[in-house]
Amino acid sequence: MHKTLVSELMTETVVRVGADDNLTTAAHKMKEADCGVLPVGSGDDLQGMITDRDIVIRALAEGKNPAEAKVGDYMTDKVYACNEEDFLED
Protein backbone atom coordinates (compact mmCIF):
# COMPACT_ATOMS: atom_id res chain seq x y z
CA MET A 1 0.00 0.00 0.00
CA HIS A 2 1.34 3.43 -1.01
CA LYS A 3 1.72 5.88 1.86
CA THR A 4 1.22 9.52 0.94
CA LEU A 5 3.80 12.08 2.00
CA VAL A 6 2.57 15.44 3.25
CA SER A 7 4.82 17.03 0.60
CA GLU A 8 2.70 15.42 -2.13
CA LEU A 9 -0.40 17.40 -1.11
CA MET A 10 0.81 20.50 0.69
CA THR A 11 0.73 24.05 -0.59
CA GLU A 12 4.25 25.40 -0.82
CA THR A 13 3.35 29.09 -0.97
CA VAL A 14 1.64 29.94 2.30
CA VAL A 15 -0.40 33.08 2.88
CA ARG A 16 -0.28 34.05 6.53
CA VAL A 17 -1.55 36.76 8.81
CA GLY A 18 -0.08 38.30 11.95
CA ALA A 19 -1.67 38.12 15.40
CA ASP A 20 -1.80 41.93 15.50
CA ASP A 21 -3.53 42.20 12.12
CA ASN A 22 -7.24 42.95 12.17
CA LEU A 23 -9.95 40.54 11.08
CA THR A 24 -10.69 42.56 7.95
CA THR A 25 -7.12 41.98 6.78
CA ALA A 26 -7.47 38.26 7.47
CA ALA A 27 -10.76 38.09 5.55
CA HIS A 28 -9.24 39.88 2.54
CA LYS A 29 -6.26 37.51 2.52
CA MET A 30 -8.63 34.52 2.67
CA LYS A 31 -10.60 35.91 -0.27
CA GLU A 32 -7.44 36.53 -2.33
CA ALA A 33 -6.11 33.04 -1.59
CA ASP A 34 -9.56 31.40 -2.02
CA CYS A 35 -9.25 29.65 1.33
CA GLY A 36 -11.04 29.56 4.67
CA VAL A 37 -8.09 29.25 7.02
CA LEU A 38 -4.78 31.05 7.53
CA PRO A 39 -1.78 30.34 9.71
CA VAL A 40 -1.04 33.11 12.20
CA GLY A 41 2.56 34.12 12.85
CA SER A 42 5.68 35.35 11.14
CA GLY A 43 8.65 33.56 9.66
CA ASP A 44 8.87 30.09 11.15
CA ASP A 45 6.91 31.11 14.26
CA LEU A 46 3.42 29.55 14.09
CA GLN A 47 1.24 31.13 16.78
CA GLY A 48 -2.10 29.71 15.71
CA MET A 49 -4.74 29.43 12.98
CA ILE A 50 -7.67 31.70 12.11
CA THR A 51 -10.68 30.46 10.14
CA ASP A 52 -13.53 32.18 8.36
CA ARG A 53 -15.77 30.58 10.97
CA ASP A 54 -13.74 32.19 13.79
CA ILE A 55 -14.31 35.57 12.16
CA VAL A 56 -18.05 35.10 11.57
CA ILE A 57 -19.16 33.15 14.66
CA ARG A 58 -16.75 34.36 17.32
CA ALA A 59 -16.41 38.00 16.26
CA LEU A 60 -19.06 39.31 13.86
CA ALA A 61 -21.98 37.45 15.46
CA GLU A 62 -20.88 38.93 18.80
CA GLY A 63 -21.00 42.46 17.37
CA LYS A 64 -17.24 43.03 17.12
CA ASN A 65 -15.89 45.47 14.54
CA PRO A 66 -13.61 43.45 12.21
CA ALA A 67 -11.52 46.53 11.44
CA GLU A 68 -10.66 46.84 15.14
CA ALA A 69 -10.69 43.21 16.32
CA LYS A 70 -7.27 41.54 16.32
CA VAL A 71 -6.60 38.12 14.81
CA GLY A 72 -4.75 37.04 17.96
CA ASP A 73 -7.91 37.43 20.04
CA TYR A 74 -9.93 35.05 17.84
CA MET A 75 -7.40 32.53 16.53
CA THR A 76 -7.01 28.97 17.74
CA ASP A 77 -3.65 28.82 19.49
CA LYS A 78 -3.38 25.06 20.01
CA VAL A 79 -2.17 23.83 16.63
CA TYR A 80 -0.89 20.40 15.67
CA ALA A 81 1.68 20.47 12.90
CA CYS A 82 3.54 17.98 10.75
CA ASN A 83 6.56 18.05 8.47
CA GLU A 84 6.70 17.54 4.73
CA GLU A 85 8.49 14.21 5.26
CA ASP A 86 5.63 12.85 7.42
CA PHE A 87 3.06 10.43 6.05
CA LEU A 88 -0.62 11.41 6.07
CA GLU A 89 -1.52 8.01 7.45
CA ASP A 90 0.63 8.59 10.55
pLDDT tens digits along 22-69: 999 999 999 999 999 999 998 889 999 999 999 999 999 999 999 999
Rounded Cα distance, 84 and 87, in Å: 8
pLDDT tens digits along 5-16: 999 998 888 899
Half-sphere exposure in the Cβ direction for 55 (13 Å, CA): 24
Note the pTM of the prediction, 2 decimals.
Answer: 0.85
Domain 6-73 has CATH 3.40.50.300: no
Q: Which helix (H) or strand (E) holds 37?
A: strand 37-42
Q: How many CB atoms lie within 10 A of CB 52?
A: 15
- For the chain, domain boundaries: 6-73
- Beta-carbon contacts of 77 under 8 Å, excluding residues fewer than 6 positions away, are 47, 48
